[in-house]
Amino acid sequence: MMSEPLVEVQKVKKYFNVGRNEAVKAVDDISFFINKGETFGLVGESGSGKSTLGRTIVGLHQATDGRIVFGGKETTSLKGKEARELNRTMQMIFQDPHASLNPRMRIIDIIAEGIDAHGLLKGKERKERVYELLKKVGLDAEHARRYPHEFSGGQRQRIGIARALAVNPDFIVADEPISALDVSIQAQIVNLLEDLKEEEGLTYLFIAHDLGMVKHISDRIGVMYLGQLVELTDSESLFDDPLHPYTQALLSAIPIPNPKEASTRERIVLEGDLPSPITPPSGCRFRTRCAHAMDICSKEVPEWKEARENHWVACHLFNETKGGKEYEKNHL
């Protein structure tokens, strides 16, 4: 059973100025929480704001507005020693294991970066800690003296995971940690993350576009579209009965191994491209690609509604007073 929230995201916005009066609304008014010991999956198309949100939560980006609370403390108000301690307890695993490791540094120094920055260990203890971490992620102590170019993509990602673990964090943002890897390696990395979660008592924000893998690893899943959350529920409910038209389209694109089953499934093809996050559509941001769009969708932002127990959705189709009563009655 889940415990109290470890991470709370409250009406967070992250805008990037691109001109005198223009800004990319990468993350726009998002709220959710992640329970201690939970893996929270975050999915959506490229450009939906997933990675920006993850980086904002761990402090690599400063939020434009809103609050991020970690372990009961608002992170944006912390300074000095408290801020450094927070940095230690929140770590990140990056998408590209080729770009995220310094090619001029030996593996022992890459893994020990956080240890050195926080002054945790020195000398023999530092070296033994690195050896322990290498073993924990499935590598050998002898690898510590090598350089990143001597390793495969999967091995580099294991090194990145070891680096994140080095400072004993409580929370890790895994930003598409398998998307740059061969399919044959992806399951190994996901299984490693699951094992480490149990062994180290970790909490994850797992960002990905591979819905099948997200279903496998996540307790709950949030779906992002153009900087906003459109649906959030537990993994099983999302896949068994997705409510938002965008989620339905995403799930319809997942390959099915059985050709007979695949031939009978309806594929929902979205028209057009993801709109610009500088000038997003009025009202519902998905309306320009939605087959169910109504007049109200262009005029009002849909309410974030608990359509069923612990299943939240932002869609006018589930608002009885705005034209969606009949759809909701037939769908739920």
The per-residue pLDDT for range 144-184, each reduced to its tens digit, is 999 999 999 999 999 999 999 999 999 999 999 988 888 88
- Cβ pair 40, 34 in contact under 8 A: yes
Token code pair at residue 54: 């993850």
Q: Are strands 228-234 and 311-314 parallel, antiparallel or unpaired?
A: antiparallel
Q: What is the pLDDT of residue 160?
A: 95
Token code pair at residue 268: 């929902």
User: What span, in angstroms and rounded, lies between the C-alpha atoms of 190 and 185?
Assistant: 9
Token code pair at residue 269: 């093809």
Q: What is the pLDDT of residue 166?
A: 95
Contacts with 69 (C-beta within 8 Å, 6 or more apart), sequence order: 5, 7, 8, 10, 75
What digits encode the pLDDT tens for the residues 63-106? Answer: 999 999 999 889 877 777 887 888 889 999 998 888 889 999 99
Token code pair at residue 161: 């995971």
3 confidence band (pLDDT: 50, 70, 90): low
Q: Are strands 39-43 and 220-225 parallel, antiparallel or unpaired?
A: parallel
**pLDDT at residue 212 above 90?**
no
Domain 5-225 bears CATH identifier 3.90.1150.170: no
The neighbour count for residue 256, using CB atoms within 10 Å, is 11
**pLDDT at residue 2 above 60?**
no
Contacts with 63 (C-beta within 8 Å, 6 or more apart), sequence order: 12, 13, 14, 56, 76
What digits encode the pLDDT tens for the residues 222-266? Answer: 999 999 999 999 999 999 999 999 999 999 877 665 555 545 556
Dihedral sign (CA 304, 310, 311, 317): negative
Residue 23, class by beta-carbon neighbours within 10 Å (0-12 exposed, 13-18 middle, 19+ buried)?
Answer: middle
Q: Edge-to-edge strands of the sheet including 5-17?
A: 23-35, 5-17, 65-70, 73-74
Q: What global pTM score does this model have? A: 0.90
**pLDDT (average), residues 3-22:** 91
- In percent, the amount of the chain with pLDDT more than 90 equals 70
Strand boundaries in 18-129, DSSP class E: 23-35, 39-43, 65-70, 73-74, 90-93
- Cβ pair 271, 286 in contact under 8 A: no
User: What span, in angstroms and rounded, lies between the C-alpha atoms of 258 and 255?
Assistant: 9
Where are the chain's structural domains?
5-225, 242-331
Partners of 62 in beta bridges = none
Q: What is the pLDDT of residue 264?
A: 56
